[in-house]
Amino acid sequence: MEKVLSVNNVVKSFHQPEDFQVLKGVDFEVEKGEFVSIVGKSGSGKSTLLYILSTMDTDYDGSITINGNNVTGVKQNKLAAFRNEHIGFVFQFHFLLPEFSVIDNVMLPALKWGKKPIDVLRERARELLRMLDVTGQEEKKASLLSGGQQQRVAIARALINDPTIIMGDEPTGNLDSKNTKNVFRIFRELSREQGQTIITVTHDNDFASNCDRVIELKDGQIVNQ
């Protein structure tokens, strides 16, 4: 199987308010099309790890390779373009741009990439929103949607560029069980049928147990994978 992500001995420390090692040598690999859950107690370093994997946090020791590209030590401007193409990210708190319409929020990463004509993108965005069960809201301002709806819009946004890896920090944290199941089903399909890799942090045992693999973090170290 093809490796999509390999994490080699990643160490991350915070120096404020005091020196504190959050990740103490994390090592693992993820294959193409794998659906992986990261679990662990609150404060165990799951979010910190995910920010590093997403290339947004570059302040760590060790090395990371994504899709054959070494991303450690690469300049932020290059990483931005890399993220745009290869990584879809769903934040723990559904962050949308409140002044933009729902559909514009979904389309923004694709508009930034500029690979496809705008009407194709618009159609694709509608389709994603339909898939996530947010219909009839496309032209509304994002700030007017409920928390659950916003989170699903954020998931649609993460999918718009068909990224190699989709990362989520508790992407279903705000959803009811029906929508959680739906999102799980979508992720499952994307990984099986499109070969996209999914890495999500979750507290939902049900959600985790149905994944291909569960990685458990404890005090900044992998204790189980």
Partner 1 sequence: MNTNNKIAWTHLTSKIQQLVVAVLSVTFGISMYIFMNGFVGGINTAFDDITFSTMAHIRVYNDLPNDEPSLIPHTTNDTIQFIHNARHIKYTEGIKNAQKIIQIAKGFTQVTAVTEQINQNVFFRNGITKVSGNLSGIDVENEDKVFGISKYMLKGHIYDLEKRNDGIVLGSGLAQSICVNVGDNVTLTTADGTHKSFKVLGIFESGASATDKSKAMISIRSARQLFSKNASYASDIQINVRDYNKVEKVSTKMAKMIPYKVESWKEGNSQLESSSMLRNILAMVISISILTVAGFGIYNIMNMTVNEKMREIAILKAMGFNGKDIVHIFLMQSLCIGIIGGAVGMGLGSLIIYIVRQIPYKIASFTSLPVAFRLIDYIMAFFFGLIVTIIAGYLPARKASRIDPVEILRG
Binding residues vs partner 1 (CB under 8 A): 47, 51, 54, 56-57, 76-77, 80-85, 89, 91-93, 95-100, 104, 108-109, 111-114, 157
Q: What minimum distance in Å lies between the beta carbon of 47 and partner 1?
A: 7
135 touches, from Mg ion, ligand ADP, partner 1, none (C-beta below 5 to 8 Å by class): none
Of the candidates 173, 142, 156, which has an alpha carbon nearest to the alpha carbon of residue 107?
156
Long-range contacts formed by 129-136: CB under 8 A, 24+ apart = 129/102, 129/103, 129/153, 129/156, 131/156, 131/186, 132/156, 132/182, 132/183, 132/186, 133/179, 133/182, 134/102
Give me the helix-helix angle, 177-189 and 147-159, nearest 10°.
0
Pick the piece of the chain touching ligand ADP (CB under 6 A) from 3-11, 36-44, 68-76, 144-152. Answer: 36-44
28 touches, from Mg ion, ligand ADP, partner 1, none (C-beta below 5 to 8 Å by class): none
- Comparison of 60 and 121: residue with beta carbon closer to ligand ADP: 60
100 touches, from Mg ion, partner 1, ligand ADP, none (C-beta below 5 to 8 Å by class): partner 1
Q: What minimum distance in Å lies between the beta carbon of 210 and partner 1?
A: 27
85 touches, from Mg ion, ligand ADP, partner 1, none (C-beta below 5 to 8 Å by class): partner 1
Determine the Cα–Cα distance for residues 155 and 72; give it in Å rounded to an integer.
26
Q: Which residues here bind Mg ion, judged by CB under 5 A?
A: 47
